[in-house]
């Protein structure tokens, strides 16, 4: 018999990583409630989650910067036992151009959520953090104890400050938190029913690749080829979004089973491998049989030269490990792009 697991609130649950995590939670037997203001996602994703999982999560269109709106949600959903917090603005380049919007949205929403959780006596939080907290690291791969350097973008700084808020809050309260510092999530669900759906021109590499390949955009732009890397382009640790989703399930299980050693814990979520931009382009071409047109442009402000993870802590303590290859990431992203082009005009 499949015993129902606790109710989890997922903020930003119709977004890219959020929607995949909602599916993974439902498949593991959790009851899921979604809160999202739909500023960077679409409501039809709820239909897709239901199509994949057979369950339609309860949905609230909530402005998370407004603590009274979140408190009202908790008052209506009294069975919520824990929260996974994805909701945030997340584009590095955009944050450089609009820093106040990023600080206001990302930090005010976190503070309001924590206040509402206290009001509702909800004590467990999984926080969506980022490898951007490491800045430009001196040594690779980065471990969870790698020194935190100055962030190179307002987005990265909101994640650093967010973690600092959570460290202080967990010391002063009975709240426990696991922060997952994930690297570069890419790809789409194996069903091709959900995937990355950027509003406007993509800021991330893989949706720019797929939209360029399908003809929505012109030639792909590669930002800089003069970095100190094997081919001159930036190196990132690309990880399949389904693997990232399973990391959140593992973190949630750790919290609910009271296995945490500290009230605030951090885990890197990546593959442990670094790939250049040109290697990602080559992987897309190899996995799809297509040729991409691209041009080399100037470096983009806020970009880090190279970063990839040491994942031994998350492998050993969370019992989680990334499984999918770069070719699988590219193939799934292309399947999603084609399906999106066929069904959404």
Q: Cis peptide before 311, with omega less than 30 degrees from 0? A: no
Residue 331 and residue 284: Cα distance in Å, rounded?
7
6: number of Cβ within 10 Å: 14
- The DSSP line for 85-134 is E--S---HHHHHH-HHHHHHHHHHHHHHHHHHHHHHT--EEEEEEEGGGG
**Which residues, including other chains, have CB under 8 Å from residue 182's CB and lie 6 or more apart?**
17, 128, 129, 130, 131, 239, 244, 247, 268, 269, 270
Helices (H) and strands (E) in the chain, counts: 11, 13
Catalytic residue among 155, 182, 227, 238: 155
Contact by Cβ (8 Å): 281, 296: no
- The DSSP line for 245-269 is HHHHHHHHHHHHTT--SSSEEEEEE
Structure tokens at 20: 């995949």
Residues in the chain: 345
Burial of 288 (0-12, 13-18, 19+ CB in 10 A): buried
Residue 37 and residue 41: Cα distance in Å, rounded?
8
The helix (run of H) or strand (run of E) holding residue 49 is helix 44-53
Q: Is 155 a catalytic residue?
A: yes
Residue 248 and residue 260: Cα distance in Å, rounded?
14
Angle at which helices 154-172 and 99-120 cross, to 10° = 20
Residues marked active site are found at 155
């Amino acid at each position: 018999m499949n015993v129902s697991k606790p109710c989890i609130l997922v903020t930003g649950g119709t977004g890219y990583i959020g929607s995949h995590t909602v599916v993974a939670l439902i498949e593991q037997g959790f009851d899921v409630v979604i809160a999202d203001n739909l500023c960077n996602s679409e409501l039809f994703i709820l239909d897709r989650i239901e199509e994949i999982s057979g369950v339609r999560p309860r949905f609230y269109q909530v402005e998370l910067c407004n603590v009274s709106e979140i408190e009202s949600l908790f008052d209506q959903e009294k069975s919520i036992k824990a929260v996974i917090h994805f909701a945030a603005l997340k584009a590095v380049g955009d944050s450089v151009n609009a820093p106040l919007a990023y600080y206001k949205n990302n930090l005010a929403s976190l503070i309001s959520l924590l206040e509402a959780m206290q009001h509702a006596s909800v004590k467990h939080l999984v926080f969506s953090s980022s490898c951007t907290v490491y800045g430009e690291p001196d040594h690779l791969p980065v471990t969870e104890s790698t020194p935190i350097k100055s962030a190179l973008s307002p987005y990265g700084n909101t994640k650093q400050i967010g973690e600092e808020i959570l460290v202080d809050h967990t010391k002063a309260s009975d709240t426990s938190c696991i922060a997952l510092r994930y690297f570069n999530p890419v790809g789409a669900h194996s069903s091709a029913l959900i995937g990355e759906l950027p509003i406007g021109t993509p800021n991330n590499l893989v949706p720019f690749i797929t939209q360029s390949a399908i003809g929505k955009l012109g030639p792909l732009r590669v930002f800089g080829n003069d970095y100190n890397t094997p081919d001159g382009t930036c190196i990132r640790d690309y990880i399949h979004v389904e693997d990232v989703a399973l990391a959140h399930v593992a973190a949630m299980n750790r919290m609910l089973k009271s296995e945490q050693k500290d009230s605030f814990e951090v885990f890197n979520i990546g593959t442990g491998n670094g790939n250049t931009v040109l290697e990602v382009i080559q992987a897309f071409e190899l996995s799809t049989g297509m040729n991409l047109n691209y041009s080399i442009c100037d470096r983009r402000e806020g970009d880090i030269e190279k970063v990839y993870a040491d994942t031994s802590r998350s492998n050993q303590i969370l019992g989680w490990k990334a499984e999918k290859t770069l070719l699988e990431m590219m193939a799934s992203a292309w399947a999603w792009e084609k399906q999106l082009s066929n069904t959404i005009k």
